[in-house]
Amino acid sequence: MPTEKLRPLEDYARKRDLTKSPEPAATVKPRGDQPRFFCVQKHLASHLHYDLRLEHNGVLLSWAVPKGPSLDPRTKRLAMQVEDHPVDYGDFEGVIPEGYGAGIVMLWDRGTWTPVSPDVDASLKKGDLKFTLDGYKLKGSWVLVRTSGRYDRSRSADSYGPGRGDGQGRSWLLIKHRDDWSGELDITTFAPRSVKSDGDLEDILAAEAPDIWRTNRPVKGGETGALLAEIVERAARLKAIRAAIVPARRPSKTTGTSRSTKRARAKPKKTARSS
């Protein structure tokens, strides 16, 4: 094959200073085919978007979906293919203080995925990847279809980085197939929170570093800048509220212990010889 292949995760490592970023190391982890992991991360960076990641050959194939997935088969969502991510990224949730992707990452959904055709590389090459998802929020039959490339040179495409560097177009459409899991429900507003922490973006920020962007935010202008400013303020308020209620909660730990002690006492153990 004449196409020059990048080393796995080379793009991922090149874009980040992994000595400073809290993001996982660029380690390829072949784990066999079954089951294949998938996740969707809600990522407030220069734009709010959703990153769909599908495990394949020891990495996570990744697409940035600006509007997030839609359960409605009539709504095709633009999905820009971006650099492969390490498998360990699938559990990542937190704050990227600065640099590439600076912002807040929420683990919005996770589960397993199954390709319809076992030859995933052939499907990718063809630009037609059919699969099923079994997550908390996303389920059933889906397809990613590569477009003719009319989005590839758009300004909005640039904000998701230079793509995979494999010379092929990187704009795809993510489409839900009609089945028991399709419908008109807007899943991103119906189920906006994390499947890992149950938090919203401000909770994730408050838990880690609520003060980090009180000055010098990574995004300043426009809609996203305003959204981030609001989240920073909400995180600061959450931090203040938590600081006030945490000491009051501590005694309940003792209550919890005594309750379980009582329960243990109320239910005497049968001895092995009692029957």
Residues forming contacts to Mn ion in the complex (CB under 5 A) are 43, 51
Q: How many CB atoms lie within 10 A of CB 266?
A: 7
Per the structure block, which two tokens stand in for 43? Answer: 């990522």
The number of beta carbons lying within 10 Å of the beta carbon of residue 190 is: 9
If you ran DSSP here, which 8-state letter would residue 113 be given?
A: E
CB 139, min distance to Mn ion, A: 23
Q: How far is the CB of 82 from Mn ion (least distance, A)?
A: 7
Residue nearest to Mn ion (CB): 43
Residue 101 vs 111, nearer CB to Mn ion: 101
C-alpha distances in Å from residue 133, one per residue of 38, 72, 142, 266, 272: 8, 15, 7, 45, 47
Report d(CA 247, CA 222) in Å as an integer. 39
Taking the least distance from each CB to Mn ion, the nearer of 165 and 183 is 165
Q: Please state the length of the chain.
A: 275
CA dihedral 67, 71, 76, 77 (to 10 degrees): 20
Query: Residue 62 CB, nearest distance to Mn ion (Å)?
Result: 8
Nearer to Mn ion, 51 or 202 (CB): 51
Kindly tell me which of 43 and 196 has the beta carbon lying closer to Mn ion: 43
Smaller CB distance to Mn ion: residue 43 or 137? 43
Name the nearest CA neighbour of 148 among 177, 174, 162, 168.
168
Give DSSP secondary structure letters for 208-223: H-TTTTSSS-S--SHH
CB of 51 to Mn ion, least distance (A): 4
Cα 131–Cα 12–Cα 166 angle in degrees, nearest 5: 65
Select 50 or 181, whichever has its Cβ closest to Mn ion: 50
- CB of residue 43 vs Mn ion: minimum separation in angstroms? 4
The distance of closest approach from Cβ of residue 67 to Mn ion in the complex, given in angstroms and rounded to an integer, is 14
